[in-house]
Amino acid sequence: MTRQRMQGAKELRTPNLLEIKRQELLKTFKLNTLLVNLSENSSQMNGEHFAADSYKDIFYKVIEILSTGTPLHYIVIDTTDIPLPEIHELTGFLETLPHLDLNLKTIQQAFPEITEETLLQAAQSLKHSPVPTIIAVSHEDITIPHSPNELHVTPDTLESTPEDVFKLIAVSKSLYSDDTVPTTRRMLQVQETIDLLSLEKKRTNTAETLRIILETIQDLLPEQDLTILEAGTGEGRIAIPLALLGHTVVGTDINASRLVKTKERMLTLAQALTNEGATNNDPLYTLLQQVLPPEQIDDIRHRLKKRLQEVPHFTQLPKDIQRELLAGDFIHALESQLETLTPYSFEAIYEDTPDLIVAPWNFINFTGSPHKMVTMLNRLSSLVKKDGVVIVEIPDPTTGPYPELIIKHTETHPEDLPGIVTAKASPTDKPYSPEKQGNRRYFPQLEEFEHYCHLAGLKVLDVKHYDAFIGEDSYTEVAFILQKKDRLGRVSWDT
């Protein structure tokens, strides 16, 4: 893409209504904060420090504050002594206060020391201010909050400026807004879709993606055979080159047949590489010659020949057995979706958690909403080992055709957050289509996506930009190089 085209694309920026929503929320933020079990050096939060042994202690304190008519906006809790299940309980009770007429007996049974008069006074104060937001500071892997009135962060998050943390709160609350869209309205969107298929059919710049991955391995994970998890493996355009280089690659895809095709593709490619005179029309064959130096190609050939020689009469075996004997040593195809994986189940199968997770070519956009996007980032963060690396690619939504698509969808679907686009469904007789994967795409602004990574406990190490493909409809693809944050240490709030 020429510089002139890039500048022209950036002039047509999406009306970032999410940022407007953030700013409106920021105007309402006040530093009326209760700091639970935090060190005294957090005092610049302009909050009251309080020591508690259980969530009930916190609830009693909150009722005491609210019953005097004093607004309370944030409750920051160190989860070392107050575990997350108790915080969920606390959130639930706080959310019942505005509806005290329906929940009075339940609250009185749980907190018998609070008088009915005090509860009524506390409930009255919430008619003029929102339910306090709980900021749960976790020293372990953070989880997705079960309520928009919770925000889960790590200790190093609170080392940011208070303003940055309040922005995270605004983003966190906005994550739930897409869940308020009625189901019937969502179903109607399938008929009112914008055609993304012509864009999605374009071949992505696999060579550049692979270069970024290999450079990241060289810089951050050198001199080791890695365990790599790829999200959205497809037919192996990334998994196969990494496996041929000697890494153990675990592939996941919503379509199990694609994972089988990945192994078939690797077998065909291996046979072409081990036969000097053979030709291969697979783009991956050309890609390897383009990206890897000759000595690495020779190493791959040597490794493959050695493997083939270990199996007597390999070429006479049935194709499905050949495929498993060869590719099965390199690529482990998980037919389950990422949502079902845990660090424990992964380690039980592969003896370790992933050193590197790769989510290439807009995989994360298929989550379809901010909430689900953060959920997926949390999943990746929980799976990768400590100090491991995660690479996620997303398009820059201010380039190429995306601004026009997003603006059009925003105008016709004002109930959706800006950035959501729906794609036309493919014919249902196709074995794999966007319809089966979900029509909604969510394209966050780049700064917004960095906030989501922050929420998921992933630190941004580097951001690389490149042209997605050659052509008039090209857009800028952005690769985020992320690293799992160190979750140890006490909470501090130093600016």
What span, in angstroms and rounded, lies between the C-alpha atoms of 273 and 285?
8
Residue 495 lies in a domain: no
Residue 209 domain boundaries: 198-484
Whether residue 256 sits in one domain with residue 154: no
Beta bridge partners of 395: 477
Q: What was the pLDDT predicted at 328? A: 58
Beta bridge partners of 368: none
Tokens matching residue 53: 């042994």
Q: Return the closest-CA partner of residue 134 out of 145, 142, 126, 122.
A: 145
Whether residue 352 sits in one domain with residue 468: yes
Contact 155, 137 (CB under 8 A): yes
Whether residue 217 sits in one domain with residue 129: no
CATH of the domain at 233: 3.40.50.150
Residue 233 lies in a domain: yes
Residue 232 lies in a domain: yes
Whether residue 210 sits in one domain with residue 146: no
Beta carbons within 10 angstroms of residue 37's beta carbon: 20
What span, in angstroms and rounded, lies between the C-alpha atoms of 228 and 237?
14
Which of these ranges, 48-57, 61-70, 163-172, 255-264, has the smallest mean pLDDT? Answer: 163-172
Pick 245 or 321 by higher pLDDT.
Answer: 245
What span, in angstroms and rounded, lies between the C-alpha atoms of 495 and 487?
19
Dihedral sign computed on CA atoms, order 292, 222, 203, 473: negative
Whether residue 234 sits in one domain with residue 154: no
Model pTM score? 0.65
What is the separation of C-alpha 77 from the centre of its chain, rounded to a whole number of angstroms? 24
The average pLDDT across 377-405 equals 90
Q: What is the pLDDT of residues 426-479, one digit of tens each?
A: 443 343 343 344 468 889 989 889 988 988 889 999 999 998 876 666 889 999
Residue 421 lies in a domain: yes
CB-based contacts of 399, cutoff 8 Å, min separation 6 = 1, 6, 9, 10, 475, 476
Q: Which of 174, 190, 222 is the last residue of a domain?
A: 174
What span, in angstroms and rounded, lies between the C-alpha atoms of 90 and 84?
10
Nearest-5° angle of CA 248, CA 250, CA 255? 150
Q: What was the pLDDT predicted at 370? A: 84
Residue 493 lies in a domain: no
CATH of the domain at 51: 3.40.50
Q: What is the pLDDT of residues 148-189, one digit of tens each?
A: 788 877 776 666 555 566 666 666 665 554 443 333 222 233
Contact 409, 416 (CB under 8 A): yes
Confidence of residue 215 (pLDDT cuts 50, 70, 90): very high
Contact 414, 185 (CB under 8 A): no
Whether residue 115 sits in one domain with residue 205: no
Kindly give the pairing relationship between strand 133-137 and strand 420-422: unpaired
Backbone angles phi, psi at 182, to 5 degrees: -60, 145
